Structure 1
Amino acid sequence: MDLQAFTTAHDDEWRELRALTRTRRLTSEQSDRLVLLYQVVSTHLSVLRSTAPDPVLVQDLSLLLSDARAKIAGAQDNSWRGIATLLGESVPAALYRARWWSHAVTFACVAVAVIIGVWVATTPEGLAALGSEAERDQYVNEAFESYYDPSAGFATMVWANNAWIAAQCVAFGITGAWPAIVLVINAVNVGMVGGLMASYGELGLFLQLIAPHGLLELTAIFVAGGAGLKLFWSLVAPGRRPRTVAVAEEGRSLMLVALGLVGALALSGVIEGFVTGSTMVWWLKIVIGAIALALFWAYVYVLGGRAVRAGKTGDLDEQEAGFRQQYA
């Protein structure tokens, strides 16, 4: 196809559609014309993608159609619909597609934490690695339990810290090393504290103070680490996609994982700030934590699974992403 001739033939229609999208108030005739031109230009874009995929022109028409679609639907309605689609389809789809990486990371981190905990609890060398006897006594008998001070400020601090760690795991996942380092440090720290508490006969207290918020909090960190490693793997083994395309597609999708984890960590922060250190009976605290974890995985598997089966990936759709290179 002669791209220059195609552009010349349809440029007036494109200009008219652009002008209509920028018009503040449309008459009924103009509204009908806007809808008609939207359909016509959508056909033009489809033809271009299949026969002459010029990236600049495809991107321009994609943005034009996006503006026209917003004008047709109404800006406010389109915004609310976009938010609903984001939270009800795109975010859970991205989390669902990273589920096996999340489960693998969870298994590995739990294994590391258990190994470190057993080493600390059963060997003199392990205990000695955690400081002097006086320091260990002070931590077990005072510092560990007093850390969980119920307050809104404490909940906010915990949420901000954990959300930042999760975002880093995803954003710097392309390095491969960063999420691995964060996950190992986190698993080792949990294992050392658990092992120390167990050596003093306080394993029950450790579980009571970790489980209510930790079930969801640690899961969120594991999911973030798994998402980061998934992004790194798209660079190492992109499959049939060009490496740059694979990284771009996975990166856009996995940033939604970080967004979803912000909400999960906000919930775990509330539990840690108001449930973990409260006077509530211990079994009810753990039940609350288990319900929060179940809600998270229901969100991933129910909404995410349904969205993926409907063709959602968590990435931008074709018109939002613009030009996509064709590959075999």
Structure 2
Amino acid sequence: MDIDAFTAVHAAEWDRLKELASRRRLDGAESDELVRLYQSVATHLSTVRSAAPDPTLVTRLSDVLNRARTRIAGTHEPAWREVVRFAVVSLPAAFYRIRWWSHVVTAACLLVAVVAGIYIATDSAALNDMATPSQQEEYVNEAFASYYDPGLGFAAVVWTNNAWIAAQAVGGGITGFFPLMVLWQNAVQIGATGGMMAAHGELDLFLTLIAPHGLLELTCIFVAGAAGLRLFWTLVDPGHRKRSVAMAAEGRALITTAIGLAAALGVSGLVEGFVTGSEMFWWLKIVIGMIVLAAFWTYVYVLGGRAVRAGATGDLAEHEAGATVVTAG
């Protein structure tokens, strides 16, 4: 298709649509003309994208259509509708797309934690490298349990710290190295602490205080690391899309993921602040932890699976993200 000839034939329609979309008031005939021209120019844009995807012309037509769409449909959807769509479509879709990455990262981190714990629990030299015998006794018998101080203030501090760690793992994904470092440090630290508690005969105390909030909290950290690694892999292998386009789309989806993880970590923070250090039966604490973890994955698999099958990716809608130029090859 000859772009110059196509532009010469239809430029008057494009300019007229732009003019009508810019007017403050339209009469009945002009409103009808606006709708008719919008439909016509949308067809032109589709033709250009499929036959001769000229970036300049695609941008021009997309801009005109966005203005006309706003004039026809109104300035914006109600805010509550966007919030609902984010919660039931965009967010679960973003989580669902990285579910296998999350499961693999979780399995790898648990393996590292178990190995680190066994090493510390069975090697006295490694145990003493962590702390002196008196420091170990003080930590095992007092500091570990007293850390979990029930209350809103403690929950807020925990949530802020964990949300920051998750955001770093997601945002640092472009390096490929940073998420691995965050995951490694967390897995080794948890495993080593468990190993110290086990060496002093307090493994049961460790598990009953970690499990209520840790099931969801650690899952969120693993998902954050998985999201960061997915971003790096998109850089390595963008698939059929241009690398810049693929990275932009994945980056926007990961912003969605980071927001969702902050919310999930808020839930785990509440559990840590009001359940972990409470006087509840230990088994009830663990049941609560299992319920919130099951609720998270049910949310991901049920709503996320449905959203992805409907075409959602966790990215912005096209009119929000901007038009993507079709490329060959």
Structure 1 length normalisation: TM-score?
0.91
Alignment of 1:229-244 (within 5 A): 229-244=229-244
SS at match of 2:77: helix
CA contact (8 A) 1:53 1:323 kept: no
* Higher deviation after alignment, 22-31 or 191-200: 22-31
Aligned length: 328
RMSD of aligned Cα (Å): 2.2
1:302 positional shift: 0.7
Does structure 1 residue 323 correspond to structure 2 residue 306? no
CA contact (8 A) 2:109 2:184 kept: yes
Give the Cα separation in 1 of the matches to 2:28 and 2:318. Answer: 30
**Partner residue, 1:161:** 161
Give the Cα separation in 1 of the matches to 2:79 and 2:2. Answer: 38
Give the Cα separation in 2 of the matches to 1:174 and 1:285. Answer: 37
CA contact (8 A) 2:224 2:258 kept: yes
Give the Cα separation in 1 of the matches to 2:73 and 2:82. Answer: 11
CA contact (8 A) 1:242 1:327 kept: no
* Higher deviation after alignment, 28-37 or 84-93: 28-37
* Higher deviation after alignment, 214-223 or 25-34: 25-34
1:281 positional shift: 2.0
1:317 positional shift: 4.2
Give the Cα separation in 2 of the matches to 1:242 and 1:64. Answer: 25
**Partner residue, 1:291:** 291
Amino acid at match of 2:157: M
1:25 positional shift: 5.6
CA contact (8 A) 2:58 2:325 kept: no
1:19 positional shift: 4.4
**Partner residue, 2:268:** 268
**Partner residue, 2:93:** 93
For the structure 1 residues 90 and 66, does the alpha-carbon distance in structure 2 shift closer, same or farther, using more than 3 Å as the test?
farther
**Partner residue, 2:250:** 250
Give the Cα separation in 2 of the matches to 1:80 and 1:13. Answer: 36
For the structure 1 residues 9 and 264, does the alpha-carbon distance in structure 2 shift closer, same or farther, using more than 3 Å as the test?
same
Does structure 1 residue 120 correspond to structure 2 residue 139? no
SS at match of 1:303: helix
1:84 positional shift: 2.6
Amino acid at match of 1:108: A
Does structure 1 residue 221 correspond to structure 2 residue 221? yes
Amino acid at match of 1:225: G
Give the Cα separation in 1 of the matches to 2:265 and 2:203. Answer: 25
CA contact (8 A) 1:59 1:322 kept: yes
Amino acid at match of 2:308: V
* Higher deviation after alignment, 10-19 or 151-160: 10-19
CA contact (8 A) 1:59 1:323 kept: no
For the structure 1 residues 32 and 22, does the alpha-carbon distance in structure 2 shift closer, same or farther, using more than 3 Å as the test?
same
Amino acid at match of 2:265: L
1:151 positional shift: 2.0
Unaligned runs of 5+ in 2: none
CA contact (8 A) 1:55 1:323 kept: no
Q: Percent identity?
A: 59
Unaligned runs of 5+ in 1: none
**Partner residue, 1:73:** 73
For the structure 1 residues 100 and 77, does the alpha-carbon distance in structure 2 shift closer, same or farther, using more than 3 Å as the test?
same
Amino acid at match of 1:89: V
CA contact (8 A) 1:41 1:65 kept: yes
Alignment of 1:10-159 (within 5 A): 10-24=10-24, 28-159=28-159
